[in-house]
Amino acid sequence: MVKKSLCGLTAEEIYNLISPSGFNLSHAVSITNSIYKKRREEISGFAKIPQKLRDELESFSFSGIFQPAAYEISADKTVKYLFRTDTGKEYETVCIPDAKRNTICVSTQSGCRMGCRFCATARYGFRGNLTAGEIINQVISLPDAEKITHVVFMGMGEPMDNIENVLKACEILTAEWGLALSPRNVTVSTVGLTSGVETFLRSSLCNLTLSLGSPFAEERKSVVPAEFHYPVYTIIEMMKRYPREKKRRFSLAYVMINAWNDSDSHLEELKILVGSSGIRVNLLPYHPVTNDPNTSSSSERMQYFKHNLIVSGISASVRKSRGSDISAACGLLAAGLK
C-alpha cells in the first residue's frame, strides 16, 4: 500500500479521509494545524486528536514534511536549499532574510519547459511538476519557518504550467487552517500562459507578476518562446481588465540587459504597454548564465528607467540583487547544489 502525504491536503480533503471513521472537521483542522503551523514531521506528535485517529493516520499516510538535501549561504545571508524527492526530482528554494520581512522563493517544477533564453533553469531541462505538498514543504521544512512573512513563486518552473498544484498551494498558504498568510504577501510569477493566467486571476486573490523580457513582441520571441503562442499584450490587457480586490498587486518584472532592452525606445514602448493601468514595473539587474556574453544594465541606467516611468505616472522600483554569489538570484536556479 502506497501511503498518502498529508502535506498538500486541504482541511476538507483530510476530513473526507477521516470522516468515514467518525471523526469530524475539527479533528481535520487539528491535523492541518500540526502540519502547517506546528510543522510536525511525525504523526505521533500531532496534537489535539485522539490516539485512535493517530493510529489510523499512520496506517495510510505520512506527514509529507521532509528536510532539504543540501544548502548554501550567500555573503548577504541569502540561503539556497536543494530538495530531492524519493522519485529523484531535484529543485531549489531560496530564503531571503531582510530587516522587516523574510521571503521564501519557491519552485513549482523540477526544471522548466518554457525554454527562456536567459534562464539557467531552461538549460537544466524539465524533470516534472511538483505536487502542492512538495511546494508547501519548501516553506514549512526550513529553519525559522515561523518567521516567514512572504512567499514568491519565482523559483524553478513556470507556475501556470502546473496551475492546479499552484492554486492548491496558494490556498494552503493563505487559509486560516493553513499558514494563514495574507494573499497580499504571496506573489506568483509567470511568463504568461493565457489559460493558466486566466484561471489564476479568477481563482486566487494572490499577487501576479508577469516576466516581460522586452516590450517588443518580435524581440520577446527571441528570449521567451511562450510569446509565440501567448502574446504578452493579451496577458497585460487581461491584467488591466481584471478587477483589483483587497489591495491585490499586478506587476511586470523587467530584467535589464545592457545594450539589449535598455534603450530609450524600450522605455517608451514600456510606457505605452503599461499606460495608466496601475500595473507596477519592477526593474531587476541581469545575472549572466554560464558562457553568456551579456551583462546587466548599469545602476544609473536602471535608475533612469525608474525615474522616467514614475514621472509618467507608472509605479516603478529597482530591485536589488540577492544571493548572486551562490547562483540564487533571478534566473540562476538550476539544481546546482549537491
Q: Which helix (H) or strand (E) holds 236?
A: helix 232-241
Backbone dihedral region of 232: left (phi > 0), alpha (psi from -120 to 50 degrees) or beta? alpha
- CA 115 from chain center: how many Å? 18
Q: Is 43 helix (H, G, I), strand (E, B) or coil?
A: helix
Distance between CA atoms of residues 225 and 260, nearest Å = 17
Is 330 considered catalytic here?
A: yes
Asked if residues 191 and 226 have their Cβ atoms less than 8 Å apart, the reply is yes
DSSP character for 115?
-
Asked if residues 235 and 210 have their Cβ atoms less than 8 Å apart, the reply is yes
Choosing from 41, 92, 158, 227, the catalytic residue is 92
DSSP string, 148-181: --EEEE-SSS-GGGGHHHHHHHHHHHHSTTTT--
Cell of 112: 522548466
Asked if residues 197 and 208 have their Cβ atoms less than 8 Å apart, the reply is yes
* Residue pointed to by grid coordinates 508577469: 210
* β-bridge pairing 61-62 and 4-5: parallel
Distance between CA atoms of residues 329 and 119, nearest Å = 11
Distance between CA atoms of residues 54 and 46, nearest Å = 7
DSSP character for 229?
T
Is 245 considered catalytic here?
A: no
Q: Give residues with Cβ within 8 angstroms of 26, minimum separation 6.
A: none
Q: Give residues with Cβ within 8 angstroms of 148, minimum separation 6.
A: 102, 103, 104, 139, 142, 181
Active site residues: 92, 330
